[in-house]
Chain A
């Protein structure tokens, strides 16, 4: 007996003509490879699906954050605008305060020049838009009369060196006096300016 067939019992049955021999074992790689490919494809699909879901969630999150950021930006812009407006107003206030600083000494000097018996009904100080040196001065004295007006104009000239030009004085009923003039500050140290000013401008009404 052939040693190869030693363990195989003989067979007398009717042979089926189409009995096939087993395929070589190496060909098991084909189905194994196919199954592995399928498993890998499923795994990759699952991974990609998971990543797709993660990406969508991340996108939604970022969109939410973007919307929140835009809302915050709009709020900040609004706040910035409000602050800018406030700043503008403050700047205007600062400019007004700075601009009114030369007027303050005028105002204080006028108030201090008032005698206790005198009364000031109205006082106006308006700086010329084109020439800041010129101040339109209006004053209405309800009591105290011309004396008070002369004192006040004199103090402005002596203490602050303001000289009135184009002065107009009007006596009204009840002893009230309405006075208006253009005040221009004089430089005391340069007499040529005084002379020039005196030559080109009219004399204040109080000096008449």
Chain B
């Protein structure tokens, strides 16, 4: 036992999750400390501060690649945080796929992080980092693959500017999982009231700063998934709608579309309705949606 360990016990640090502990919620890793929540796209970086009391600060953004933005904002970001800790959402160099009949043995998630080849077999590629989410109601799973090179470079860049990366995630994928959770909870409540009822078809779409992930669900089964990066801009949301329309048509006109944005885009729902009259579309975005997911709020 080192002196530092004793010191950490005496100041109760040992009873809190470490900042690097990815199994602990963000707010428990940084209790009463400020941290920075970033959304990094290829040509734009947005951020907002998570205050000591757990509230989100005002959002801000800067056009340009991360390398240029961090050179300009690094010092200011350090001032905004206690210890320079950041939770980063990547909006590029990732692929989400829908898998069937993947192994669900215990410890697979840990193995996926350390040895993807052993966990995924032939599906694993070199230079990728994976995250796997199973549908607890069916044999389908969502598999996120992200370029390891992009993550390593991002971590090095932050470290170079005195910042520490506490989490690297894919915002669009995280929002899609949030949508899937909401659907599953709604199904559970609905089936509890009427066990023989049909929940029908649902299309979930998460839009995050140009990236889009869409997942179709028929009853409890995940049926179709599409994900694209750099698909749309704030001025032009049509490409996102164009991607969703075929999925809606395939699922049927009675499908219920749930949309979640990183920041509010009121015009998007109208675009979908104008393209498919009578479509049931719900925008479940809450203020500071991406920030809340990045901070586990």
Cα A90 to Cα B18 in complex, Å, equals 102
Distance between B54 CB and nearest chain A CB, rounded to angstroms: 13
Q: Which of A19-27, A42-50, A129-137, A180-188 contacts B (4 or more CB under 8 A)?
A: A19-27
Contact residues, A5-30 vs B (CB, 8 A): 6-16, 19-23, 25, 27-28, 30
Asked if A31 is at the interface (CB within 8 A of a chain B CB), the reply is yes
The residue that A8 contacts in the complex, of B15, B20, B24, B129, with Cβ under 8 A, is B24
Given contacts A11-B168, A13-B168, A14-B155, contact A22 B131 (CB under 8 A): no
B166 (CB) vs chain A CBs: closest residue: A13
Given contacts A1-B133, A1-B136, contact A12 B146 (CB under 8 A): yes
Contact residues, B89-140 vs A (CB, 8 A): 90, 113-114, 129, 131, 133-134, 136
The residue that B151 contacts in the complex, of A6, A12, A27, with Cβ under 8 A, is A12
B89 (CB) vs chain A CBs: closest residue: A9
Residues in B whose Cβ lies below 8 Å from that of A2: 136
Asked if B144 is at the interface (CB within 8 A of a chain A CB), the reply is yes
Asked if A36 is at the interface (CB within 8 A of a chain B CB), the reply is no
Cα A10 to Cα B134 in complex, Å, equals 13
Asked if B75 is at the interface (CB within 8 A of a chain A CB), the reply is no
Given contacts A10-B144, A12-B131, A20-B18, contact A1 B177 (CB under 8 A): yes
Contact of B168 with A12 in the complex, beta carbons under 8 Å: yes
Cα A13 to Cα B22 in complex, Å, equals 9
Residues in A whose Cβ lies below 8 Å from that of B271: none
Contact of B23 with A8 in the complex, beta carbons under 8 Å: yes
Given contacts A1-B133, A23-B15, A28-B12, contact A9 B167 (CB under 8 A): yes
Number of B positions contacting A (CB below 8 A): 44
Asked if A34 is at the interface (CB within 8 A of a chain B CB), the reply is yes
B293 (CB) vs chain A CBs: closest residue: A9
B156 (CB) vs chain A CBs: closest residue: A14
Given contacts A1-B134, A7-B296, contact A15 B18 (CB under 8 A): no
Contact of A31 with B169 in the complex, beta carbons under 8 Å: no
The residue that A14 contacts in the complex, of B87, B133, B151, B170, with Cβ under 8 A, is B151
Contact of A11 with B15 in the complex, beta carbons under 8 Å: no
Distance between B18 CB and nearest chain A CB, rounded to angstroms: 6
Residues in B whose Cβ lies below 8 Å from that of A6: 181
A21 (CB) vs chain B CBs: closest residue: B21
Residues in A whose Cβ lies below 8 Å from that of B174: 9-10
Contact of A10 with B131 in the complex, beta carbons under 8 Å: yes
Distance between A30 CB and nearest chain B CB, rounded to angstroms: 7
Residues in B whose Cβ lies below 8 Å from that of A16: 20
The residue that B20 contacts in the complex, of A10, A19, A30, A34, with Cβ under 8 A, is A19
Residues in A whose Cβ lies below 8 Å from that of B70: none
Distance between A140 CB and nearest chain B CB, rounded to angstroms: 116
Cα A16 to Cα B20 in complex, Å, equals 7
Asked if B26 is at the interface (CB within 8 A of a chain A CB), the reply is yes
Asked if B202 is at the interface (CB within 8 A of a chain A CB), the reply is no
Q: Mark B62-89, 1 if CB is under 8 A from A, else 0.
A: 0000000000000000000000000100
Residues in A whose Cβ lies below 8 Å from that of B177: 1, 10
Residues in A whose Cβ lies below 8 Å from that of B167: 9, 11, 13
Residues in B whose Cβ lies below 8 Å from that of A22: 14-18, 21, 24
Contact of A15 with B134 in the complex, beta carbons under 8 Å: no
Asked if B60 is at the interface (CB within 8 A of a chain A CB), the reply is no
Distance between B16 CB and nearest chain A CB, rounded to angstroms: 6
Given contacts A11-B169, A12-B146, A22-B16, contact A1 B180 (CB under 8 A): yes
A25 (CB) vs chain B CBs: closest residue: B15
Distance between B121 CB and nearest chain A CB, rounded to angstroms: 20
17 residue pairs from A and B, CB less than 8 Å apart: A1-B133, A1-B134, A8-B23, A9-B26, A9-B167, A9-B174, A10-B133, A10-B170, A13-B155, A13-B165, A13-B168, A14-B152, A19-B20, A20-B21, A22-B18, A23-B15, A27-B9
Q: Which 10 residue pairs across A and B have the least CB separation, nearest first?
A: A11-B22, A13-B168, A10-B131, A12-B168, A12-B129, A16-B20, A23-B14, A19-B20, A11-B167, A9-B174
